[in-house]
Structure 1
């Protein structure tokens, strides 16, 4: 008897495809509909689902990505127009020249493709080191998988700080509170519980559903993924963290430069075409010549140069323990002049020590110590050094106490409450920022158990607080009360409490932090401290960091300042204290609106939007997932000295990119402008289109070595940012000088040597190619060219081409594209003009960089 073959069931793409409301579904029903199991999916099944079933499933194979990258090298409108014009030329019978032009275009495109392909592969390897993960059950075992590899039917486990990878049904929950601000705008953490919700209720009332893009504030959970990708609630609506961010300083600079080059190229090419047609030159030749000029001006290898330079910088930064997630952030890092940083763990050791636990009279209190330990031990939020220090107090135990409930910390209340049960009595223990704890107290109690109305001792409490804060102690207030045994405890129960005393902790500055701050200051980067600590503590730490008269702005004062006045105010502020999370974004935006390039270092849940708002968002490897996901780069060590190395690398990549732009916008523009003008006064084309493209291709070869070129040390000590005005000045001055020598060359060729068309083209090609090599070697440094050694590739290819270029007119390959052998006297004349050009460029460069900084 044959065994009946059961067709393999194709799983639903998402829960919505099988009908019903996720919030009203029970777990058994969902397991059935998603063809899932409490033991999790098999690895093979999960991979199959990822490939065919989710919105994220279409992943191009590597070879297809390579093909697309190759095609992208030819997507420039100028290149496409040139290809069309070549096709017309071939149709009119000029097949040989058409094929030559296409071959040179293909060579140039392949050169750019190979550089970008290698660079992209290197960057992907680096980015794989910091990808966000989630715990999923596969093949019956819990294992870490990439966040974007989750599929409907996956069983996942979540803890504080984790990002939620899709819309999920909650299966298990322990003290679970979730930040859904990206979805609902509600800043207060939402409590989640297992159980059904009424179908169709608003998102904020679906207490049994976890939504993609939210993050766990505290507690633990197991959940079943039902929807991923565009089918999630987050995928359907606009939300803050996934709105397209404004362009960074680097991107704005590239855009401005791109528009400038497009305008220049368009007017020159169209103008020359019209004038050549006016002088009744052949139509096909005029079109090809104008387009070839346009291609010659355009820095077509700029994308490849930029990607190569940035990826090389990313690899160097990785060796210095900085992992780059977004390539453009490297140059942004080199441009920053303001660095906003949190205090804990970056400027301080991040390892708090409990100094004392005192009552309202400043006397040691065993009850304060005990309750502080219970609160820290039973809380289930994300890791923080203060609770960690409290948990490690000696001589403590939880005998007789059990956890009843929890109201998690949030950045509005600035309190954390734990309800413990002992001898059938529920006790709420609340700790947090002193002022916020006092706000919910009606009485105070000293170490002897005597109680006082809070208004009678409030002044003494605040004086004690200020005295210790001024010495740099982090101060937490502690309060308690007996609560009823209601099954649901929430923030509204934090009232009519009894203030018990103070918890004083100390987090000392890092030993080498003063030196690190000085090093950043030497690079033109000003440190601004943003902290939630009170202003007394912040000011004391600032003194210890070497700030003699730190200017402090508190969160309350910040609220009173208008958006228009804030950019000027933040520049006059050193420390932002008692700051709420949403105010961090506002501070960052104020710096940027004031024309500053701003970096931000953060590692907490409350840092995510500020990380996105900054030109460079910087997190650390130990940060929570939501912070790492929002950042542009990640420090493997939370150390400002590591960041200093990153700033230097960013400036190197900027300077090396600018070298290529200087060369292409001066030598290229000068040469193409000269060709355009002379074409109006001689009866033939000064260079054939294929010769222009060959000239362009040869000058691009050594330019690829710019990515690994050396940078003069003295150029690294100022922030570097895109300056189109500087580029325009450079192009005008050096382009004009290049054109003068071109016209000198034309005069020598036409009036002294009296050459024919082919010899004119051959002689000018040699002179122009040599001058482009010389200007690359000269303007790559502000020093005298002979005092600054180029990188090996750049120097080696330049020397080889300098030897090879004069021989091209003598080769059979040269004859194919219209060159003729030059008399030795003419060749010597072209070389002599090129050398004279190099000498004068060196002198001009000295004057230019004396007046203008780059």
Structure 2
């Protein structure tokens, strides 16, 4: 079933702009152009939220018909049947007729339709049929491909969907509840949810309980700093003109928890939320084109400008030389059709969709199809080391006292800290909890009771819990980064005695931790102090005058796949830079173990001293950055982008979200925190650089196939028009009738429909690929005239060898050029698809071989078969085919020679 699912279009549905609503919230709000708090909200919603803010928790629960322990399953189902799923207004799947209309609407189809209408009005029925066939072919192929994507949407969403921790009340016990993970779209008003650092707020909520809760509301208000939230009821005297977003006890859909923990009551879901009231307006806003879309648009504009110049020239040349302005007009229309890359939208859609399908099989979920091009263009990858360079299986290797002796007491304090904290437990916490025996764990849990905690944040880099031992005395236990914990310590415990932390002892302690870091161990300090038993609320200010108990050291061995993955990325032109909040010695040791050359490490404190110009220079030279805050990571990514590089950032933590948004291509994993997945463009189902490298290569293959079509179309069009101008100036009749030109163009288009499925040379994906419209113009002018040389040779052949010199013999002349033109145009597909020798050094995929062979066969059969008279073609003499072979081979040889000269001078990509 899963295999069938992936084959049916997988991440292509994202091109249809449908799902993953939670991932798109920030983009949606930014597209409004103004902060969300300036958007008017319906008065009933504003009043309901304000009332919930002013009521105490009991009153709010009573009004919603809920309970402090949450709803029962039956209650939740009944409410969901009434309110619907927790989904905001979004770009819904289009009806089939409207989707078909949108597939038809592009500049090329509209131009062809206008030409078809003109042909109809001039009673050229055959031309009308052929042009209409081109439009139908392009539209239907795009419609079918995108339709498959739509049908896979709901299954795709499940791959990277977010969940919320919901309290479900037992039917038998009104006060008992069980925390369960539920999809966000299942939430209903009245649900009680548990939040911790990294969680997205899934609905509009009223805080019931909170501990050091800080929420980022940047997506809603534009505020860059997190806002503290609490459970206290707001004063009824609050200025009514104040936005409800300022309420300190309300949480809003689309924001996220930065630190702390909370229990909250869901007030509104889906369209009934603050976010939902303006989502419909957001979906109607036209997005700013991405780099990929801008590239496609620039290429389209180039081809259209070329047509606008050449078509009038063809019209005037034929009108002046032949004197038949009506026929010249029809011929110019046919040339305009030939110059129109009507298959470009279909080729782009099919190529991107096919690339997304292949990426899905490589465990890479593409959230936005045009991100594939940025994936392939990536020049620098910034990544953390944990889980990418290392195994992400951290084990507690040592538990030592402050002077280096093994200590069970340190392990006990570390366990209590990890066990009782309610924030986002990281891998180090899990390693501590897994290390302690079950019997010891049960005894400690029975002997101790939690009093309070001071949650972790990225400035302090430590967190504390306060516990009461058998309700006797209170103990504050602090765990965190060595430097930050030592900064809060004044004493050191050495066995039964406590020593003052003077300079010599501090140097000894630092030497111990440095030695552990040199071994590649991540060291966490543990400190404690006894606090007054009458106190129940603690803050950061209490993390002072601590006694250092000791250290816990963790081992995260390097991945076996890391070294070959780094070599593969380097071979493919991707520079890897490690950005970590960890110790610089540990990070350097890991980098050396996996073969990543680093010349020291740049610390976050040093980055703080640099201006943007100095930072831009530094990030180019260095590859390891340690002890970073989220802001440091974001600054590094922006500095790399300012240097003109395409930057990817791979992260899975809440501290990675700013850098993920700042990067050209944000990469996360399915196990990441909600906010990291929301900010990413690509989701890896496996946290591995090898998977990432495979994705990069597939992105380049996808882009390379799109470039093939664009180059073929541009160069072929230029050559054809040049040939037409030459022939029109000297021949007493048209070199090819409008209907013949249209049929030739239709057959040529059919031969190119398999390009998205073509093979790509390994050499073409070794380096990042980017749009280069200027290079396209040069390529067009360089290769276009090659076909004209052999077109002119064909004119001479038909004129002097086969004596097709009069109006009565024009059908023979036109048939001869029809076949040569079609065969050389079809052959150019194979010549330009690779810089290598076609058919020998590089083979096209079988679908492309099949379509081109079929088109060649049809092209030769048309003048020789029963339909020849219908298209005003004439059977060619057998002697012609010997000349045909010579012309085609000559074309292939000349094109190959000039291709090598072009590669030597300009390169291929």
Instruction: Provide TM-score, normalisation by structure 1.
Output: 0.87
Q: 1:483–1:228: structure 2 CA closer, same or farther, 3 Å change rule?
A: farther
Q: Residue deviations 1:273-326, cap 9 Å, x none?
A: 566667796666555544543442333222322222232222222222222222
Task: Determine helix, strand or coil for the equivalent of 2:465.
Answer: strand
Q: Residues 190-589 of structure 1: matches in 2 within 5 Å?
A: 190-193=228-231, 195-196=233-234, 198=236, 199=238, 206-216=247-257, 217-219=259-261, 221-226=263-268, 228=270, 232=274, 250-251=292-293, 253-273=295-315, 289-394=331-436, 395-396=440-441, 397-422=444-469, 423-453=471-501, 457-484=505-532, 485-547=534-596, 549-589=598-638
The 1-side partners of 2:181 and 2:398 are apart by: 40
Which residue does 2:823 correspond to in 1?
770
Say if 2:819 is the partner of 1:786: no
Shift of 1:386: 0.8
The 1:287/1:146 distance shift into structure 2, 3 A limit, reads farther
Unaligned ranges ≥5, structure 1: 1-11, 238-242
| Aligned counterpart in structure 2 of residue 748 of structure 1, from 797, 819, 825 | 797
Change (3 A) 1:384 1:555: same
Question: 1:811 offset after TM fit, Å?
Answer: 5.0
| CA distance, structure 1, for counterparts of residue 599 and residue 267 of structure 2 | 50
- The answer for the alignment partner of 1:167 in structure 2 is 204
CA spacing shift, 1:356–1:274, aligned 2, 3 Å = same
Q: State how far apart, in whole Å, the 1-side matches of 2:520 and 2:306 are.
A: 59
Alignment of 1:44-83 (within 5 A): 46=80, 49-50=83-84, 55-56=88-89, 59-61=92-94, 64=95, 66-83=96-113
Residue 240 of structure 1: aligned partner: none
| Alignment check: 8 A CA contact 2:210 2:229 kept | no
Alignment partner, residue 696 of structure 2: 647
Q: Which residue of 1 aligns with 2:891?
A: 837
Question: Following the alignment from structure 1 to structure 2, what is the Cα–Cα distance between the partners of residues 650 and 634?
Answer: 14
Distance 2:295 2:617 in 1: 24
In the TM superposition, residue 573 of structure 1 has moved relative to its aligned partner by 0.7
SS at match of 1:785: coil
Deviation, structure 1 residue 33? 7.8
- The Cα of 1:658 is off from its aligned counterpart by 2.0
Q: Which residue is 1:107 aligned to?
A: 137
Aligned twin of 1:853: 908
Query: 1:101, 1:689 within 8 Å by CA — same for their partners in 2?
Result: no
- Secondary structure in structure 2 of the residue aligned to 1:564: helix
Within 2, Cα distance between the matches of 1:491 and 1:203?
29
Q: Would you say the 8 A contact 1:101–1:690 is kept in 2? A: no
Q: Distance in 2 between matches of 1:438 and 1:181?
A: 34
Report the CA distance shift for 1:133/1:721 in structure 2 as closer, same or farther (over 3 A): same
**Structure 2 counterparts to residues 625-636 of structure 1, below 5 A:** 625-636=674-685
Change (3 A) 1:659 1:58: closer
Structure 2: gaps spanning 5 or more residues:
1-40, 172-177, 280-284
Q: In structure 2, how many angstroms separate the alpha carbons of the residues matched to 1:688 and 1:152? A: 70
Change over 3 Å in CA distance of 1:501–1:137 after alignment to 2: closer
Task: Indicate the larger mover: 463-472 or 770-779.
Answer: 463-472
**CA offsets, 1:759-793, max 9 Å, x none?**
44433222211111111122222322122322111
Give the direction of change, closer, same or farther, for the CA distance of 1:344–1:57 in structure 2 (3 Å limit): closer
- The alignment covers a number of residue pairs equal to 835
Once superposed, what is the RMSD of the aligned Cα atoms?
3.8
CA gap 1:705/1:119 in 2 versus in 1, 3 angstroms: farther
Distance 2:64 2:726 in 1: 71
**CA gap 1:364/1:224 in 2 versus in 1, 3 angstroms:** same
Change (3 A) 1:639 1:96: closer
Alignment-derived partner of residue 713 in structure 1? 762
Q: Is the 8 A contact 2:109 2:342 kept in 1?
A: no
1:789-834 per-position Cα deviation (integer Å, ceiling 9, x unaligned): 2211111121122111122235565544544444554566455433
